[in-house]
A and B are shown apart, each in its own frame.
Chain A
Amino acid sequence: MKGQKDTGRRKEGASLSRTDLRGHVKAWIQHHRLSAADSLMRVLDSLGSSFLTWLVIGIALALPVGLNVALDNMTRVTAGWDSPAQISLFLQGEVSLDRLREIEVELAARDDVSETRAILRDEALDEFRTLSGFADVLASMQANPLPDVLLVTPDAALDGRGVSALRAELQGHSDVAEAVLDMEWLQRLNSLMALSRRLVLAIGGMLVVGVVLILGNTIRLAIESRRDEIVIVKLIGGSNGFVRRPFLYTGLWYGVGGGVLAALLVTAALWSLEKPISDLAMLYESAFQLSGFGVMGSLNLVILGGLLGLAGAWLAVSRHLARIEPR
């Protein structure tokens, strides 16, 4: 009997504390909602200065992200260029057609050359005329400015050094004005792009720190302007968490707004570049299309903005709120 009574009471106690807990959680969520709404109202109330903050954050985020999208696109372009190395031999101007055929045969006979192909200067001019849209300019020229070109494909078994050696040897040929290894600039481009990526990363890192500091300062000003209110809330028993909450939300809204603006800026930039780039791609007979950064990219940017906003607010709040105590 006694035991029964005991468990009954314990049960009651447990359910009581559970509803208690539920009430606390409910109230906590309610205060989050209130703080979020109140902070948003305050941000929207001073729309002018809020917009400036958003714009600063937006630009700071859009810059590295935009550069990164550009680099991504360049990587995609050059990825299609990993064709085997090719040496272009620009022949001397006075080389005749017969001599050209002779050289071609001579090169094709070599072990380290798998294929040659001639691009005659007149052919090249015609092609250039139709594709480039410079027909008028070219028509006004007296002579064809283009040289004859021999494209030499080295043997596939040749490694990078072998190809370079071949190029050097062909450069020494008396009828060759210039031997250019097409891989060389591609390699340079690739290393340049790797460097650019690091640079973008570094710039991005600095701008992110900048955004956090700007937001921290904005929140610090918000805290200063509501000093009296903070004192009163602390006087009547508001915890640090309670006082902190609206400012964290303020930071969040600034950050999210900045992220949205950044996404808009990047999208607008990509959109305005789309037409010229597809024109250019057509010129190079390429099916290349600018790839944007999509809904996920925009979403990530907004989330990033929000997180930075929170970080900035946290920075300000942890440094300045504790110092405001009722006197």
Chain B
Amino acid sequence: MISFNRVSKRYGEGRDALREITIEIAQDELVFLTGHSGAGKSTLLRLIMLMDRPSRGQVIVNGQNLAGVRPRNIPQHRRSIGVVFQNHQLLFDRTIFDNVALPLIIAGYEAREVGRRVRAALDKVGLLNRERAMPISLSGGEQQRVGIARAVVGKPKILLADEPTGNLDPTLSAEIMNLFEAFNQVGVTVLIASHDLVLISRLRHRIITLSQGCLVSGRAQ
């Protein structure tokens, strides 16, 4: 589903943020991505969603070589991927409902269908009763769950998450990981960048470890 073939990424004149990375992630997998701060986890995710282009090598997502995706087709590519951002990236002047509905509005769903799907997604993350609230009135964990609902509401084939449990307590972190596992169960490819080694090593999924831009372990299943 996602494959990296000798991918390197260098920002400006600095050293490589990623160096000769080769990974293969199958469609039914849930994979964790770990490594120290600055190891290149976010960079790897950014390449998948075309926020950046690799300096060398190929990234292939869902059968498509991303080098062939022209700028005007980037939005379409991003719509096929659900992303949970490290800093939530919510619209603070819109209700929870409107935030979660945004990908559907962008994709052009009808109003009734939007309502149905948004409520289903909010129900999954346990925030159905807060749909009229504003993001500012939510705790960090709740905001994170709104971000997850928004990432999955469009039923993407691929779900990326950058530190989704970054500032959550252990119980809530485990709950959110369970949520990701549930999505994986229904056939979504999930890639989660996380520091939380204790948590992710308990979960028995493949763990890809990066160190200073190099792949250390977890290259293949």
Name A's B-contacting residues (CB within 8 A): 23-24, 26-28, 30-31, 34, 228-229, 231-240, 242, 326-327
Contacts and interface: CB of A to CB of B under 8 A. Distances in A.
Given A235-B83, A237-B75, A27 B102 contact: no
B49 to A, nearest CB: 8
Contacts of B36: none
Contacts of A235: 49, 51, 78, 83, 85, 89
Nearest to A25: B108
A24 B85 CA distance: 28
Nearest to A26: B110
Task: Give the dominant DSSP class at A's interface.
Answer: helix
B75 A238 contact: yes
A178 B75 CA distance: 83
A24 B106 contact: no
Contacts of B76: 237, 239
Contacts of B103: 236-237
Interface size of B as a range: 20 to 34
Contacts of B83: 235-236
B39 to A, nearest CB: 19
Nearest to B92: A228
Interface in B93-123: 93, 102-103, 105-111
29 contacts: A23-B110, A26-B110, A27-B107, A27-B108, A27-B109, A27-B110, A28-B108, A30-B111, A31-B105, A31-B108, A34-B105, A229-B91, A229-B93, A233-B102, A234-B78, A235-B85, A236-B78, A236-B79, A236-B83, A237-B77, A238-B106, A239-B72, A239-B75, A239-B76, A239-B106, A240-B75, A242-B106, A326-B51, A327-B51
B51 A233 contact: no
Contact of A237 (B93, B106, B110): B106
